[in-house]
Amino acid sequence: MTQNDMGQAPVLTTADGLPLKTSLMRTTRRHRIRAFLLVAPLLLFLVVAFVLPILDMLKRSIENPEVHNHMSRTVEALEGWDGESIPDEPVFAALVQDLVEGGEARTIGTVASRLNYEASGMRSLIMKTSRRAGRIEEGPYKAAVIDIDEDWADVDTWRLIERESDPFTLSYYLSAVDMRYDAEGNIVDQPDYLKIHNALFIRTFWMSAAITGLCLVLGYPIAFLLANTPLRYSNLLMILVLLPFWTSLLVRTTTWIAILQQQGVLNDLLVGIGLISTDNRLQMIYNKTGTMVAMTHILLPFMILPLYSVMKTIPPHYMHAARSLGARPFLAFRRVYFPLTIPGIGAGSILVFILSIGYYITPALVGGQSGIFITNFIAYHMQTSLNWGLAAAIASILLFVVIAFYLVYNRVIGVDNVKLG
Amino acid sequence: MAVPSYATRGERIWYYLFRVICAAIFLFLVGPLLVIIPLSFNSEPYFTFTDSMLALKPEGYSLRWYQEFFTSSAWLNAIKNSVIIAIASTFLATILGTTAALGLSSRNMPFRNTIMALLISPLIVPLIISAAAMFFFFSRINLTQTYLGVILAHTALGIPFVVITVTATLSSFDHSLTRASASLGAGPVRTFFKVILPLVTPGVVSGALFAFITSFDEVVVVLFVSGPEQRTIPIQMWSGIREQISPTILAVATMMVTLSILLLTTLELLRRRSERLRGLSPG
């Protein structure tokens, strides 16, 4: 009654006279700031060492600075060009100036390579014109340049330069999926002899799916055995799963080379027991078989561990109940046990599939020509063909695919439930 | 999972067949690792069992590939590089990861899930993509072909492991212990060293081991980011396998398998200790 008489509840205060609510909020805020400050150094580190590089790669896959930066006068002079006729004298004058300057600064080579990705022959055209342009003393430049090479009288050459003058381009993505711009700027398929990437993407996906299937077929019985054996034995058996999991990837790949190669252990064994003659040794490595066997071996623990952790939670009386209600063992398994393991199957399969499509080392070492993945072409474009934009575009496509599958995985199992051994 | 007494003959056959199938799969898992161990003691430069090895004659076996390993300056240099890079990146990853895990386990942490997803991302993104991205970015800021570049890259790859293991340990951490410590007059720093750290040490150490083995075993990122001066053991193995494959590789492989057995044992002991400390299991 006294409270009603006062009209309102008394404000609770702490010892120093502050209202309790304010004090609590202040403390909570301090805790939040403290928690955030603890995370901040790592966050900053990862942004610099990991997130920025990824963003930089995404940017590199669309950026197109070569023509824009190193032929800026030509690009400017081309503004307002109708795109139908050969450009006029001012454009040629700008071209000569750009080519001469670029030749002295040695930047013209990057322009030549860039344009050559789009139309072969552009490299020699640019380099040749750049070398000879220095000798053109005075105008008219148009006739002099066309005299160096007839291609400058071709409207397509100018259309290409104008199209590539945009500082951003989709052409790396197009060539990552075996397409290109034609002379008119329409998107068309690459000619058949230049098609390589789509076949590799498709191979990467179907082989990864096959590897995932193999892992499931081999991993399911093992996980079942581990989950239904007394702890004493299952701990020992678990070591047999974890040992390969912990062994170096290169070591495991090496062992498969030692076993599967033509003068290797398995072929010797087959010859030894007379199953094949020594002239007909099987080619089991440096092809698709090699990649499949080695990758299945390497990824199998990633299937077994999630399956095991799901099966461990299924109480054994469910099966007993099914049996006592009259179900034959197979029916009881199919109708009771198997449906309960589906979350584990989902998690394990997505995990193995994600890991598999990103594998580089094993296909490169045991895949030969027919067993390599799209990842090997990322490395090829980075190290051999030096087409970094294309490498970045392929890597970005792969990254989007992985992120999509990862979001599904997160839905199925949740990132907090990642278990390590 | 013994055969119940009421099992029919078909079930008995299936029971034993299932065991045989499982044994075959276990053989597939572990067999290859066991095959290379005797092969690494081969006295001939072959990748297969010679007749004298099969006859168990002593002259079929030798330590020559181990000797070659320990007398080759290239391999010794690779060991040195691997150890320097692995220790430095483990150290960085452990310090940064443990502090962050402490913050993340606080109930007051804003944007917890988003930040967690970001911290785990180096584990999800395929290595070849991380390698490409780091290579492009590091070449802009002149970090390729330097120790610092490789160490930073490996730290990023090791961080998710530390964050995962330490947050897992902290999830079962009893927060009333820190309040008790505070009410008894200990400051935050003292509470951290006297109360929190001893309890999370198993998680920190196993996270550090994961980070160490990740760096020690990593080849893709080093392949792109490092230069000839930073050749590590995996790079040396990689070029050995690609160029001229000699049983020295098998000797290295055997030693690496031994190393992983040691690490696995350490981790298992840590896990038991952590469970005992938390009172989850007796003994």
Same domain, A247 and A324: yes
User: What span, in angstroms and rounded, lies between the C-alpha atoms of A305 and A350?
Assistant: 13
Q: What ranges in chain B are assigned the alpha helix state H?
A: 9-39, 51-54, 64-71, 73-104, 112-124, 127-140, 147-171, 176-183, 188-191, 197-217, 220-225, 233-242, 248-277
Residue A385 lies inside a defined structural domain of this protein: yes
Classify B283 as helix, strand or coil. Answer: coil
* pLDDT tens readout for residues B56-108: 777 778 888 888 888 888 889 999 999 999 999 999 999 999 999 888 887 77
B contact test, residue of A42, A215, A242, A293 with most B CBs within 10 A = A42
The domain containing residue A299 runs over which residues? 197-417
Instruction: Output the furthest CA–CA distance in chain B (Å, rounded).
Output: 74
Least confident residue range of A170-174, B40-44, B145-149: B40-44
Per-residue b/e over B152-186, b at no fewer than 16 CB within 10 Å? bbbbbbbbbbbbbbbbbbbeebeeeebeebeeeeb
Q: Map out the domains of chain B as residue ranges.
A: 9-60, 73-245
CB B39 within 8 A of CB A258: yes
Residue in chain B lying closest to A286 (CA)? B242
A contact test, residue of B48, B105, B165 with most A CBs within 10 A = B48
Q: What is the pLDDT of residue A157?
A: 87
User: What span, in angstroms and rounded, lies between the C-alpha atoms of A382 and A316?
Assistant: 53
Q: Do A251 and B156 touch (CB under 8 A)?
A: no
Same domain, A340 and A404: yes
Classify A19 as helix, strand or coil. Answer: strand
Amino acid at A338: F
Q: What is the pLDDT of residue A142?
A: 83
Classify B50 as helix, strand or coil. Answer: coil
Domain at A247, CATH number: 1.10.3720.10
Q: What is the pLDDT of residue B80?
A: 92
Chain B residues in contact with A413 (beta carbon < 8 A) = none
Q: What is the pLDDT of residue B43?
A: 79
Q: What is the pLDDT of residue A194?
A: 81
* pLDDT tens readout for residues B111-137: 888 888 888 889 889 999 999 999 999
User: What span, in angstroms and rounded, lies between the C-alpha atoms of B75 and B83?
Assistant: 12
Same domain, A122 and A207: no
Chain A residues in contact with B34 (beta carbon < 8 A) = none
Same domain, A153 and A293: no
Q: Do A375 and B128 touch (CB under 8 A)?
A: yes
Q: Touching check for B46 and chain A: CB below 8 Å?
A: yes
Residue B231 reports pLDDT greater than 60 = yes
The minimal CB distance from A255 to the residues B35, B121, B159 is found for: B35
Chain A residues in contact with B11 (beta carbon < 8 A) = 329
Same domain, A128 and A262: no
User: What span, in angstroms and rounded, lies between the C-alpha atoms of A171 and A165?
Assistant: 12
User: What span, in angstroms and rounded, lies between the C-alpha atoms of B81 and B231?
Assistant: 7
- Shortest distance between the Cα of A172 and any Cα of chain B, in A, equals 16
Same domain, A129 and A256: no
Distances in whole angstroms, Cα of residue A266 to Cα of each of A52, A288, B32:
47, 17, 11
Question: B73-245 adopts what CATH topology?
Answer: MetI-like fold (1.10.3720)
- Residues of chain A with pLDDT below 50 are 1-6, 419-421
Residue A44 lies inside a defined structural domain of this protein: no
Residue A27 lies inside a defined structural domain of this protein: no
* pLDDT tens readout for residues B163-175: 988 888 887 778 7
**What ipTM was predicted for this assembly?**
0.84
Same domain, A345 and A224: yes
Residue A190 lies inside a defined structural domain of this protein: no
Same domain, A216 and A309: yes
Q: Do B36 and A392 touch (CB under 8 A)?
A: no
- Shortest distance between the Cα of B146 and any Cα of chain A, in A, equals 14
Residue A179 lies inside a defined structural domain of this protein: no
- Shortest distance between the Cα of A329 and any Cα of chain B, in A, equals 8
- Token pair, residue A62, equals 């669309």
Q: Do B220 and A35 touch (CB under 8 A)?
A: no
Same domain, A202 and A151: no
Same domain, A69 and A208: no
Amino acid at B154: H
What predicted TM-score, i.e. pTM, was given to this entire model?
Answer: 0.85
Q: What is the pLDDT of residue B280?
A: 53
Residue B212 reports pLDDT greater than 50 = yes
- Token pair, residue A392, equals 């970045």
Q: What is the pLDDT of residue A417?
A: 52
Residue A345 lies inside a defined structural domain of this protein: yes
Q: Touching check for B239 and chain A: CB below 8 Å?
A: no
Same domain, A238 and A307: yes
Same domain, A281 and A370: yes
Residues 6+ apart with CB under 8 A from A267: A260, A261, A276, A281, A282, A284
Residue A76 lies inside a defined structural domain of this protein: yes
Which residues on neighbouring strands pair with residue A180, listed in sequence order?
A188
Number of domains in chain A: 2
